[in-house]
Amino acid sequence: MSEHTAQSTSQIVAEGLCKYYGQFTAIEDVNFTVDQGSITAFLGPNGAGKSTTMKILTGYLAPSAGNASIAGYDVYEQRLEASKVLGYLPENGPLYPTMTPSSFLRFIGETRGIKGAALKSALDRVAEQCQLGEVWHKAIHKLSKGFRQRVGLAQSIIHDPKVLIMDEPTSGLDPNQIRIVRQLIKDLAKDKTILLSTHILQEVEAIATRVVLISEGRIRFDGTPSELTEHAGLEDRFYELTKTEGATA
């Protein structure tokens, strides 16, 4: 066990988050922290509350109750500071189909206030990190889904954030594209803290150093992948923890 407190290294904090849509509870009392340098899989079946939680953590959606912070900045009280240290890859990110990766990423960089030599070096960095060289000047609508996802990833890291939140980053990709995107995520984790949502069990084994499992809007498990599978296989544990009533962590 390490000596440090969770607070000193937590880059993402969700504290008592609740979201109600009328009578419907999308998430209830969601608490977890993500430590610096980890790749945390936010795992759960469809409809579990992953996107809702991530939209709250990234400041796109106000919670009905609770608090969220990124790198120590409250997502609502210190919105601007939080947005500077955070990159967000939404599930179907807005890409401008007629633009090229080059013009789109330049535009995103400019809207983030990056200029001149710093913008050029940011564009060179993301082109290299996301391996976009061969498609740099092709229209986005002509690219494969895998390349489009890499352009989305590039926009989320153009400002070199410390924290990266990704909603289902490999969803809808073919096996080769999945491998490439997972490797990119692992490379990015060398200097970033990453939270990624997924409903795919293999993603946990392939990439995660930590798992937070959500089902029906409630956290059911929070620990390492090996703790999750200590007593049973991943599929059995997932089933046990996501079946409707009586599930405990």
The answer to whether residue 10 forms part of the interface with ligand ADP (CB under 6 A) is no
23 is a contact residue toward ligand ADP (CB under 6 A): no
Contact map string, positions 126 to 155, toward ligand ADP, x by CB under 6 A = ------------------------------
- The whole-angstrom separation of Cα 69 and Cα 144 is 35
x/- site string to ligand ADP, residues 41 to 80, per CB under 6 A? Answer: ---x-xxxxxxx----------------------------
- The number of beta carbons lying within 10 Å of the beta carbon of residue 122 is 22
Q: How many Cα atoms within 13 Å fall on the side-chain side of residue 52?
A: 25
**Residues 90-119 contacting ligand ADP, CB under 6 A:** none
Does 215 participate in binding ligand ADP (rule CB under 6 A)? no
| Matching residue, tokens 């991530």 | 54
**In the complex, what is the shortest distance from the CB of residue 217 to ligand ADP, in angstroms, rounded to a whole number?**
7
Mark the segment that binds ligand ADP (CB under 6 A) among 18-26, 66-74, 94-102, 109-117. Answer: 18-26
Q: How far apart are CA 54 and CA 202, in angstroms?
A: 21
Residue count, binding to ligand ADP (CB under 6 A): 11
Q: Are 149 and 187 in contact (CB under 8 A)?
A: no
Q: What does the alpha-carbon distance between residue 226 and residue 231 come to, in Å, rounded to a whole number?
A: 9
Rounded (10°) CA dihedral 239, 249, 63, 111: -70
Q: Which residues contact ligand ADP (rule: CB under 6 A)?
A: 21, 24, 26, 44, 46-52
